[in-house]
Amino acid sequence: MSEDYVKAHQTAKKEYKKAVSEGRYPYLPALDDFLDTGSQKNEISLGVTEIPLWMVAGTKTAGRQTAFSPGFMPLLAEKSEFASKWSNLCNAQLNEGLRDPILAYEYMNRFYVQEGNKRVSVLKYVGAYSISASVTRILPEKNGDPEVELYYEFVDFYQVTHLFEITFSEKGRYAALAKIVGFDLKNPWPDEAVEKLKSAFLTFSDIFEAKGGNRLSMTGGDAFLLYLEIYSLESLLYESKDTISKRLSRIWKELLTQTSQDSIELLEVPEDAQVDAVKSGVRKLFSGALTYTENKPLNIAFLYERSPEDSRWVYGHELGRLELEDKYDGVVKTRTYVDCMTDDVVEKALEDAKKAGCQLIFTTSASMMAPTLRFAIRNPSVSVLNCSVNLSHNAVRTYHSRMYEAKFLMGALGATISDSDVIGYVADMPAYGLIANINAFAIGAALVRPKAKILLKWSTQKGVDWKQDFTWENISTISGPDFIRPDLPEREYGLYQNKDGNLIRLAAPIWQWGKYYDLIVGMVLDGSFQATLPKGGQSINYWYGMSAGVIDVILSQKLSPYSSRLMKMLRSLLIKGELVPFEGSLRSQDGVIRAEEGTILTSEEIIRMDWLNDNIIGEIPETWKLYDSTKNILKVSGVMEE
């Protein structure tokens, strides 16, 4: 018996014992055991191709599965006929190489061997990367299962590349990879581009695994995609392995953030940040070392997607910036960059801000996150924050407001003064965090008027004129846009009533960005910001609300004293935490209970809402139904898929 079989057999026994001790099946899985043999299978021949050995998961039938350990090492006795045949194949591989293709089935991006199990075992033993195989693909039934949907996206990727080895854990990442390298999932890629991608991935995989990447709960493809979002594909082809390894080390905390189940440190009141700084034990060190004066000011840059003159959102942030400069009068100096609508423009603005000596940078739109992240990783000495929710990165802190609290109050107010049970609501775009605003308004309305219905319209939806629609529907009480633009002093914003063309404004939400920026800058000035550095695998997200003074509701003097008193009572209870919008039994439009009595939705569940409350008339539109101006934001934080 060959020495190689003895070694392989010893490895097999160790794998067997380890599987048994961990309560796992100690043999190879057989594809026929978990396929429904009674149903008709959709089989497609892929011809003869090279398949990665690490993707060969088991056998097609149960006949030979107990002859191998889970790692495809031989389990049968060393003096058996099986052992002799295995040894002969091993000698042939070492002397000449095994050339005949095996027969295998591919199912859900894994391979199961029909003929050639011993050849697979030998090649795995000698450390080969791939094996030639005649492959038949078995397509699963499309049933809405997330894993099946992910697999069908892989099938699209395979059709244009014929690559097996790049795998992802979430749908959408194949499309993201295609976009990064300049292609799509519909048209075949040039052979040269495929070879470059494969070579780059294999180089990355070797370094990723050497650094312990196989211990992370993510695929090599997931890590590869994140790397390409920050560094170029060419860097993997032409840079040294040492350089690539150092770059991978820089983004390692981002990889941990993606895989950690407790990756977000959500700070919901300013006191949380102060407590964290004290607990860190280094606040005094930072506060003593960083002293800002008029001669040595704190320089801050603000990046705006558009200009304040033509964007309600930007106009609010600009007012906040001016308040900040006015308060700190020389100790804080700011500069702005407008029309940052593409990644290239954002990157140039960030580099310019760095050259200008800015120590703190705010990028005020979720659409800027990708270039913001790249800059932050390359420039760890500059503190960078992005105004967004549901985007968690270790290198970039995020900040946003709990506007749903103000909307809850406005919903209750609208229901008390409405002439009918139907109230109009105008939403901007279906991004994460904003769906909660709609639901909170609907729940607030139902709290004081159980029969209240909310008619939902989207201001960014193609072919929709919400003002005209509400007129035709005889809707007189309306929650309009949250902001005004200086160049378009529209009257239809906030909560108002339209009485035969006569608009009566009742209330309006306020984003107190000046207060928000003051809270963050105050932490920088006293050292608590620097003292609360995010831990490995965590991101810091500021999500302040009404109790922090960063949002509020302005009430019209035209309201009756009773309505004003009701609003003040509800506001007080909400700030104290005694009134919670998303508490108890909640039902979506499809009738699913979202929370049982006595429970409260977590902040993460509120941020990630992708459903509408059952008293809302309307839907969350797909991205293609919206104007192109929304797509920069929706591609990174949109609720609906393309």
Distance, in Å, from the CA atom of 14 to the CA atom of 151, rounded to the nearest integer, reads 33
List, as one string, the DSSP characters of 386-409.
EE-SS---SSSEEEEE-THHHHHH
* pLDDT of 487: 61
Q: Which residue numbers in the chain have pLDDT < 50?
A: 277-289, 642
List, as one string, the DSSP characters of 94-156.
HHT---SPEEEEEETTEEEEEE-HHHHHHHHHHT-SEEEEEEEEEEPP--S-HHHHHHHHHHH
Distance, in Å, from the CA atom of 12 to the CA atom of 136, rounded to the nearest integer, reads 28
* pLDDT of 282: 43
Distance, in Å, from the CA atom of 558 to the CA atom of 575, rounded to the nearest integer, reads 24
List, as one string, the DSSP characters of 259-313.
H-TT-EEEE-SHHHHHHHHHHHT-HHHHHHH----SSS-EEEEEE-SS-GGG-HH
Tell me if residue 579 falls in helix, strand or coil.
coil
* pLDDT of 500: 79
Distance, in Å, from the CA atom of 531 to the CA atom of 166, rounded to the nearest integer, reads 39
Query: Do residues 479 and 495 make contact, with C-beta atoms less than 8 angstroms apart?
Result: yes
72: left (phi over 0), alpha (psi -120 to 50) or beta: left
* pLDDT of 281: 46
- DSSP letter at 6 equals H
Distance, in Å, from the CA atom of 317 to the CA atom of 176, rounded to the nearest integer, reads 30
Cβ neighbors of 328 (< 8 A, separation 6 or more) are: 298, 521
Q: Burial letters for 158-173: b for 16+ Cβ neighbours within 10 Å, e otherwise?
A: bebbbbbbbbbeebeb
Amino acid letter, residue 505: R
* pLDDT of 283: 44
Domains of the chain: 1-141 (3.90.1530.10), 142-250 (no CATH), 265-399+515-547 (3.40.50.2300), 404-511+548-637 (3.40.50.2300)
* pLDDT of 389: 87
pLDDT tens, position by position, 351-368: 999 999 999 999 999 999
* pLDDT of 285: 42
Distance, in Å, from the CA atom of 551 to the CA atom of 482, rounded to the nearest integer, reads 12
